[in-house]
Structure 1
Amino acid sequence: MSENSAAERTLDIRDLPKVSLHDHLDGGLRPATIIDLAAEVGHTLPASTPEALGQWFLDSADSGSLERYLETFVHTVAVMQTAPHLTRVAREFVEDLVADGVVYAEVRWAPEQHVSAGLSMDQAVEAVQAGIDEAVQDAAEDDVDIEVGQILSALRHERQSFEVAQLALRHRDSGVVGFDIAGPEDGFPASDHQNAFDLLATNLFPVTVHAGEAAGLNSIRSALVDARALRLGHGVRLAQDLEIETLEADDDEDLDELTIFTAGPVASWVRDRGIALEICPSSNLQTGATAAWGEDLEDHPIDVLFRTGFNVTISPDNRLMSGTTLSDELALLVAAFDYDAEDLLELTLNAVEASFLGLDERRDLAELISDAYEDLIQDVDDEDSDQD
């Protein structure tokens, strides 16, 4: 971290190009949109104004329990059961990404939850893609480039994962870039869905798995071994497999202290092979995923993981439930751990490398982001020079 750089002092994080890998469609609705759509379908909400409804979601999700956190989705899923509603939600979702400076995103959602009004899962996927395409095209007309892929999630406590895997393969050339399992983690290991993961592996289709959020190392191991996961959704409980000891340095040492780092077998596998952690700081605090280390962001093991070489990426998880954006999450890290522009760039490039884009696309995106950082930082330096 550099000391007192101009970038640290005045660079607006919202201006920085960002990559979001763990962003739930049904967790990113605008409160005003929920109210509009609920009125159309006759669904009763716990609040009647956008401000009050947004606060209700934030308060309800801040429970310290993943299960209670997930209960808030009853209201968002209820208004996402028709093609027009799915298309509107997806379009606005991408519009909000554009407003936050995101240049590449993977939006995940569970099609099996959106068929109660008669849509097939294929029709639901097509409706979401239509909304994504509309927003991407609108952004392009404003000379703003963004690329968005779908990740289809199967519910780990249900039994439709094989069908969702087949669905993902059918749409792999029309917007779907990956597969995930989500929902209650504890008691529902990835191995319960072995046939789906075998099908995806046979067809060389990328997988990310929610693991290490509400359950520990056994859940992470199952995601790695049974699901062949290329990324871990959250993965923060991987820190249970680390031993960190900080010692005072000798007088002749340049450092004030020495850190001894030891990783167990699961953590070593993840670190040595660069398996990405999709960490969502605010959400982790809300669900109690990091409660073993403390209640505050400063206690979150993200900094230890980042500083010891794990492939850490940052995402917002559910922007509505956490009242956040990706820019907000990065700003929290700056405040908690004194991260500077170089740290934010490294986290962003980690996300580029972990994305489900092809190699050439990842290289192009990494170059675009690095150049943009350099230009923005130079602009800040020039402004400060002019003021001097």
Structure 2
Amino acid sequence: MVSTSNNIALSDKSFLYSPHPPEPAPEAPDVTEDSPLPEASAPHQPLALRDLAERARAYAEASSSLNTRRAYAADLKHFNGWCRREGLDASRPDPQVIGLYITACASGARSVGGRPNAVSTIERRLSALARVFAERGTPLDRSDRHIASVLAGIRNSHAAPPRQKEALLPEDLIAMLGCCDPGGLRGLRDRAMLLIGFAGGLRRSEITGLDLGRDQTEEGRGWVEILEGGLLLRLRGKTGWREVEIGRGSASSTCPVTALETWLKFSRIGSGPLFRRVTGKGREVGPMRLNDREVARLVKRLASAAGLRGDLPEAERPALFAGHSLRAGLASSAEVDERHVQKQLGHASAEMTRRYQRRRDRFRVNLTKAAGL
């Protein structure tokens, strides 16, 4: 049986930057019988190099989001486990092994848990493997026929239209706000999160990554500034920083600015993470930032409490809603020029924005009539 290497770790960048990098070999001096002995070299300074290595690892970590690193780490663990069960070597980027692995994932082989993976999941697993092998200096050739032809066949056989989450329309959001505890800190926090997430068209990580001010935490993804006309959010994304403007609402009960001001007043947060855990039976605000998964849980819980999609069995409803439902809700509801929605969501193309618009008029431009038919 071929030994399996389980030392591939995406979260640990030690294979990229060792704290003791090898020193270049010195050139051999021309030594003759009359040459003096060479002087001793200067002492090695490992502390300075170790500090640089730590910084390099931190920069490498910052090259991708936390959610991406989590997904890739899970994918690596999945691949390593399959190789171990099949007696294959996981340390080398063998295209034949990778081709067999994605076949197992697509067919739902017992060695991968017995359930077929979606095409998007298989493509993500391939991306994770390609990245880690490239960082180890042994690139994976995804164009090799053992991978490319198998992946093309998987796409042709199993690809399906993406399953989009339901958009939370304004009437849905108002019903959910009515299910928040009006007299508790947790209810005040949840109202502010929902309204800011909806009005800003934010991702769940952008909601929980907000700080009250600039440079207050190392892991923050942006901060908020309360102005007379509304909120100004500065967010750090995949392609750099962007600004999101959230205006005041027409009623105090649905105004995101009022909801945030109320949360800050009663939570007594002066700096640091904006949205935190509420402890002590709902009477105390802790120092820890909320995990972004709490946004999805909040949306699912309140959508169920508000009775959304009551035409479906109760067991099926939670799967319809998630954090992206807030983002899709703004894109589907805002009756403004599409360019403004695209800017708010931070999309590079209008086509991406249209994927979020669940009830737009798809036939506003009728090419059939325009052609004279």
Q: TM-score, normalised by structure 2?
A: 0.27
Q: Which has the higher strand share?
A: 1
* Structure of higher RCO (CA pairs closer than 8 Å, 6+ residues apart): 1
Q: Which has the higher helix share?
A: 1
Specify the structure having the higher radius of gyration (Cα).
Answer: 2
